[in-house]
Amino acid sequence: MPLKRHDIAQIRQDYSKKELSITDCLADPLAQFSLWLDEAIASEVNEPTAMNVATVSAEGKPSARMVLLKGIEGQQFVFYSNYNSRKGQQIDATPHVALTFFWPELERQVRIEGRINKVASNVSDAYFQSRPYTSRVGTWASEQSRPLDSKTTLIKRAAFFAAKYIASVPRPPHWGGYGITPERIEFWQGRPSRLHDRVVYELNTQGAWDKCCLYP
């Protein structure tokens, strides 16, 4: 049976659930983000902490993938990953990233740009030990972003490390957290007729946040 063809150029949705006024936005964009994240969680948005992380290689080639936000600590957005992965190598080459959150149920998007660094080892250790046992074993089993000849190889590696670390699983030295210090944060609220609300915060040379509205 042939697949049904869709006219994707005609797929669109009008937004009208909420509006965003610059006068209602908090002075601190991280506080504003926390407010929106709390609303997304309370509204039971699917995967409210999922974010797109965009990195750039040494050659200037972009790459993006979805990861989960694990905290806002010390004015940084924190996630965890394999330091030897493709994203890890690109972060080493270019320590600037862009994050995007999209909560379609609320017709909202948040875009964040900033510098990225590895978090302290003790912070990574604490988070790693909070993960389920199978996830900790899986971290050892996966050589993230490297070619895999078969799923059987991965399963055997997981079994090997499960047998090696029966009671306690240490954090691999090649795995840990990253913290993004934001320099620009934009809040987007969908509105009717594509007249969307956009409020952007930018860090000025004095270390304070300036905010303004943007054309949609």
Cα separation, 104 vs 68, whole angstroms: 17
Cα separation, 208 vs 204, whole angstroms: 6
Give CB contacts under 8 A, 24+ apart, made by 170-173. Answer: 171/124, 171/125, 171/128, 171/129, 171/136, 171/139, 172/139, 172/140
Q: Which member of 65, 115, 146, 194 is catalytic?
A: 194
Please confirm, yes or no, whether 194 is among the known catalytic residues: yes
Cα separation, 77 vs 204, whole angstroms: 19
Catalytic residues: 194
